[in-house]
Amino acid sequence: MTQHTDATTTPSASGPLSGVKVLDLSRFIAGPLCAQILADFGAEVVKVERPSGEDSRHHGPYWQGESIYMFLYHRNKQAATLDTRHPKALGILEDLVRWADVVVENFRPGTIDKMGIGYERMKELNPDIILVSISGFGQTGPDSERALFDAISQASSGLMSMTGEPDSKPTLSGTYIADYTTGYQGAIGAMAALMHRDRTGEGQLVDIASFDTMFSALGTRLIAELMLGMEMPRSGSRDLLTAPVNVYEAADGPIYIQAGTASLFPKLCRAMDRDDLAADERYATVEGRMADQETLEAIIQQWSGGLERDDISARLDAVGVPYAKVASVREVAASPQIAARDMIVEAEHPVHGTIRMPGNPIHMEKTPPVVRKAPPSVGEDNDHVYRDILGFDENEVARLRAEGAI
């Protein structure tokens, strides 16, 4: 079942963040995703972008003339335009900061200070403001002013060196994993700061770096290096610490089998009708299986290659071995599990019609995330933001439009 909303009107927000006001000055992925998560849980989010639209609106692929980037990271937001170089822009930004509880930005450190709306100025305007600053390398440190995109984060943090086959060059992840993870960390930081403010009345700066986020996710390899001085090589699709674990080719496609633990390996042997392998002393321990995993993998591949994935799946289900058919994006999007988890949501856009988007993966019993509004077109909500939120009269809004300020 998909969530579905009519976005020709803006339903009133509900949820745990209802009443929280967020000014979204960010662009691309990490910052907009952070603000969208807050919006999904009921925050009122005003996204400000230049009159021609933020950079990602001009990146393909396009659907009905609109970049699909916008469909991914901007639902439940009110879209307003503002030329930040216009003489009246700073005053408008200051009004929006006074209105907001949280500001989200992901410019290079120092940029908002040059715009005249840095954190110190924000605190003068709104003493309990929460500023979520998302950047490549953070607000401090020798690399703080360097530019960074997702791939640079993967390369600089160590993640890329871990990814790929042992005899190949380091490989980029198949998705923008650094941006996504950083966006979620930003939302966590914003919500923690809101809780602190509720208790103390104090706002604060939340400093989120993509580099830090990826470094913190290096897992076992990081601790092995720090505490054991051990450098673990790239392992492809194998598990770092157990075997046999890998992708195997069935007669009709790839399947991933995880049978590296002491309890799972005998079960895999049973599914393969190879109890002799389970009884072999060479494979009685993890260390033994790791030492001879190429031999084991060749045996498993010979078995899997003569069967279709459904047959392998049935055999592994029967003995309790974890596995997964390696699914394409099209296959997983059409799966019953995605439907059962409401992980594809829909919204009706007044111009573009039905928009399909990934759902929010945070499932809550009492206060689930809700899609109230489709991702907006450029400046779609200018009247609401400038007249209803900031209190400008109709003539002032018309003048701002005529002057090219909005």
Q: What is the pLDDT of residues 101-111, one digit of tens each?
A: 999 999 999 99
Domain-located, residue 239: no
**Do 41 and 175 lie in a common domain?**
yes
182 inside domain: yes
Region 291-320: mean pLDDT is 98
Same domain, 201 and 101: yes
- Give the global pTM: 0.94
Full DSSP string of 247-290: EEEETTEEEEEE--STTHHHHHHHHTT-HHHHH-GGGSSHHHHH
What pLDDT was estimated at residue 110?
96
d(CA 162, CA 237): 11
| Domain that includes residue 303, residue range | 245-331
Q: Which residues contact 120 (CB under 8 A, 6 or more apart)?
A: 113
pLDDT of residue 14: 85
Q: What is the pLDDT of residues 82-97, one digit of tens each?
A: 999 999 999 999 999 9
Span 44-59, average pLDDT: 96
CATH of the domain at 395: 3.40.50.10540
- Asked whether residue 237 is domain-assigned, the answer is no
Number of domains in the chain: 2
Does any domain span residue 356? no
Q: Is the pLDDT of residue 5 over 90?
A: no
Q: Assess contact for 32 and 70: CB atoms under 8 A.
A: no
Amino acid 185: pLDDT: 98
Give the torsion through C-alpha atoms of 125, 194, 55, 88, to 10 deg.
Answer: -10
Q: What is the mean pLDDT of residues 282-301?
A: 97
Q: Which of 150, 179, 207, 381 is catalytic?
A: 179
Q: What are 167-214's pLDDT values in tens digits?
A: 999 999 999 999 999 999 999 999 999 999 999 999 999 999 999 999
pLDDT at 12: 60
pLDDT score of 33: 98
* Whether residue 113 is found in the same domain as residue 28: yes
213 and 263 together in one domain: no
Q: Are 148 and 137 a contacting pair, CB within 8 Å?
A: yes
Mean pLDDT of the chain: 95
Residues β-bridged to residue 261: none
212 is catalytic: no
